[in-house]
Amino acid sequence: MLVVVWLAAALGAIQVLRPNWTAAPFLGGLVNLFASAAMAGALFRIGVEARHPGDAAFRAHAAGLQWGSLEWRVLGARIILGLIFLAAIFVVAIIWGVAVGVSAMADRADVTALTTGDNAAKGAAALHMLAGPAGVISVAIWLPTLAAALYFGARLSLYPLLAADTRAFNFAQSWRTTRGAVMAIVVTWIVSFLAQMLLAVVVGGMLGAIAAMLGHSGAARGWGSIGGQAASVAIAGPLAAGLQLYIYNALGSGDTAATFA
């Protein structure tokens, strides 16, 4: 976890010190993808090691962080889920774009402003369009999409953990496992997100204030943002892994739905 937090702080510092380095977000995302998988793998090992007595492949390393076949499965499962959701969002975005484009043809002035106007004209045209049929279409498309994403995300939330524990990429088992726990998962996600945001604001504000007191008022906002981001990352991984392990281990009592009733 400390490695992931250090990486988050380092990447944030690079963005502050080298804002014109366009490769930073891509490289940072790639590094974070592997680092977060390693952290999740370490936490999953602690939770499932007892299920595999004598199996060295599930033994938690004394130093915590390690990389083996279990971490590769976690990474693979996360990439598979990410690609599925990205593909679904891409399809919805195309449908939304076509629908909004057709509705916008009713007002040629807005279309002309969006294509040839300056930034102020484009902003005014976009707001005018969203206040009409385009706005209704956007809500009608994206609100159900958000609800569906939350539902399917909750039902498949144990997919990486199951891949780590069972050595198999089994969507059906993940789907069955979370039956009856969808609302609890979604609510926990919301509470976790709010806790992360609150911690980020508090830590970021404190570090920014300290930087300003030390005479670095110009950099106070940047360093406060770095500290807030690192603090948020520090609790995001353990909270997510803890929730997954809790639901997964609740199956030992028989019925997940009864556990979360």
* pLDDT for the residue numbered 229: 66
Split at pLDDT 50, 70, 90, the class of 146 is: very high
Model pLDDT for residues 222-259, shown as the tens digit of each residue? 555 666 666 666 677 777 888 888 888 876 544 444 54
Q: What is the pTM assigned to this prediction? A: 0.75
* pLDDT for the residue numbered 253: 44
Model pLDDT for residues 163-188, shown as the tens digit of each residue? 998 888 988 888 888 888 888 888 88
Q: How far is Cα 125 from Cα 128, in angstroms, rounded to an integer?
A: 5
The more confident residue out of 222 and 207 is 207
- pLDDT, the chain, mean: 76
